[in-house]
Amino acid sequence: MTHILALDTSGTACSVALWSDNGLLLGLEEPAERQHTQCLLPMVKSLLAQADVQMADLQAIAYGRGPGSFTGIRIAAGVAQGLAFGLDCPVIPVSTLAAQALRAHLQLQQPHNSAYACSLDARMGEVYWGEYTIDENHPELALAVVEERVCDPQQAQVMSASYVACGSGVALTAMPAGILTQALQVLPELEPRAEEMARLAGADFALGRVCQPEHALPVYLRDEVTWQKLPRYQ
């Protein structure tokens, strides 16, 4: 039996999930602002105990590779790498925006050809932006319509005529009004989660889309951080 553990620390919550090829899917999610390091491994231990699965039974470790909080995605990548090295198993990097698309798809029970404009607040007046459809033949594969990027909200574009807009980026005041008014639904509170990452990782594992632990790296999208000095008060 194949068991895959998924980890996500890309946002304000900390989540873990266990996917098994016998149909089992368990997940835990807790608020953890700036406490991801302390929460993650105890949550993994609790989850595996609930499932009566041992760490040694895991065939792969999936993690939210980004985009997202710089510190958060580094934590998930580092823990996934450490666990995978210890277990001598591969890792599966999963896009947080793809997981967001699948979560919206499952929550709304949209047709498989529906599109999802996914976003996260990237701070500094920018958004992480991506657009996905759900594969009609493989319902747990999220297919990218455009390459993920970081951009000014005014530069965000949707290629699909019919779509759902989701994620914290759509709540930004600079987001073009047309993207929101033309959407079938707008879900600004919807965040990535380990459960959907585990589903995506299960499909990736079946297709051989895995990598060695040393390649467990975060994906920032933003190459460098621009520091802006604040004016001094006299």
6-33 pLDDT per residue, tens: 999 999 999 999 999 999 999 999 998 7
Distance CA 120, CA 200 (A): 19
Question: Is the predicted pLDDT of residue 233 greater than 90, yes or no?
Answer: no
Q: Are 118 and 100 in contact (CB under 8 A)?
A: yes
pLDDT for 226 equals: 43
Range with lowest mean pLDDT among 18-32, 43-57, 124-138, 186-200: 124-138
Q: How many residues does the chain have?
A: 234
Domains 3-95+192-215 and 97-187 share a fold: yes
Q: Are 194 and 27 in contact (CB under 8 A)?
A: yes
Residue 69 in tokens: 């909080």
Question: Is the predicted pLDDT of residue 128 greater than 90, yes or no?
Answer: yes
Topology of the domain comprising 3-95+192-215: Nucleotidyltransferase; domain 5 (3.30.420)
CATH number 3.40.190.10 is the correct assignment for the domain at 97-187: no
Closest CA relative to residue 131, chosen from 74, 151, 109: 151
For residue 223, name the pLDDT band (cuts at 50, 70, 90): low
3-class DSSP string for the chain? CCEEEEEECCCCEEEEEEEECCCCEEEEEEECCCCHHHHHHHHHHHHHHHHCCCHHHCCEEEEEEECCCHHHHHHHHHHHHHHHHHHCCCEEEEEHHHHHHHHHHHHHCCCCCCEEEEEEEEECCEEEEEEEEECCCCCCCEEEEEEEEEECHHHCCCCCCCEEEECHHHHCCCCCHHHHHCCCCEECCCCCCHHHHHHHHHHHHHCCCCECHHHCCCCCCCCCCCCCCCCCCC
For residue 232, name the pLDDT band (cuts at 50, 70, 90): very low
In the chain, the percentage of residues whose pLDDT exceeds 90 is 86
Domain ranges of the chain: 3-95+192-215, 97-187
Question: Is the predicted pLDDT of residue 230 greater than 50, yes or no?
Answer: no
> For residue range 73-116, what is the model confidence (pLDDT) as tens digits?
999 999 999 999 999 999 999 999 999 999 999 999 887 778 99
For residue 225, name the pLDDT band (cuts at 50, 70, 90): very low
